[in-house]
Homo-oligomer: A and B are copies of this chain.
Amino acid sequence: MAVSPAAERPRKPGPTRERLLEAGRKLFAERGLHGVTTHDIAAQAGFAAGTFYLHFRDKEELCRVIAEDTMESLRERLAEATPPEHRGTGKAVRPFTEALVGFAEENRDLVRIVFSRSAETLAVEANVLDELAGTIAENRRGRAAEGVDPVVLGHALVGMLARVIAWWVEDPRRATREAVVETLVRIQRSGTHPE
């Protein structure tokens, strides 16, 4: 007898879970992980304190889910922007950067949480950025200029991207979108052989 799929876990993310996630995104972006209580999140979502624990094991899990969802969206966005045949060539750099900057613009709250300068998001954000660093390193493999370690380069570029984006997203009037993209593209192109 097949286990009723309905018996597995809350079938649908349902509106409650979604509202809690939304509240979490808003409040974490505003005040950081440690500045927000589970009470605050539940209240912001319009629920009582206990409801939080019906949907998440604890605060950290909420945070992890937010980060993972964010990363998933970002991954898709970046994948769309960089067709497989361009990967590993210099052609991907500008679309990749534009996708990243575009994502940041449209998801300021998420970016504040995950790329935050003061991302105390436990191990979560480390993983996010580490993954990105790995992706970048992978793409440059074999094209690194002499003396350039591709792993170091990956981390360097990620640190650069994360910081510029976090800085810019805090106040987008700090620079034009074009200047941000252009500057990031130029720096990323360095350290690699022109194709």
Question: From A26, which residue of chain B is reached at the shortest CB distance?
Answer: B3
- A90 CB within 8 Å of chain B: no
Q: Which residue of B117, B122, B153 is within 8 Å of A187 (Cβ)? A: B153
Task: Give the distance to chain B from A143, nearest Cβ to Cβ, in Å.
Answer: 13
> Among the listed B118, B155, B160, B190, which residue makes an inter-chain contact with A186, where contact means beta carbons less than 8 Å apart?
B190
Contact A156–B184 (Cβ < 8 Å): yes
In this complex, how many residues of chain A approach chain B with their Cβ under 8 Å: the count is 60
CA distance A122 to B122 in the complex (A): 15
Q: With A120-B32, A186-B190 as given contacts, are A43 and B4 in contact (CB-CB < 8 Å)?
A: yes
Chain B residues near A121: list those with CB within 8 A: 118
Q: Which residues of B contact A191 (CB under 8 A)?
A: 183, 186-187, 190
Which of A12-20, A65-73, A81-89, A162-170 lines the interface with chain B? Answer: A162-170
Is residue A79 contacting chain B, with contact meaning CB distance below 8 A?
A: no
Q: Does A180 sit at the interface, judged by CB under 8 A?
A: yes
Q: Is A3 within 8 A of B184, CB to CB?
A: no
Given contacts A117-B126, A147-B182, A152-B179, 4 further A-B pairs with CB under 8 A are A147-B186, A151-B175, A153-B183, A187-B190
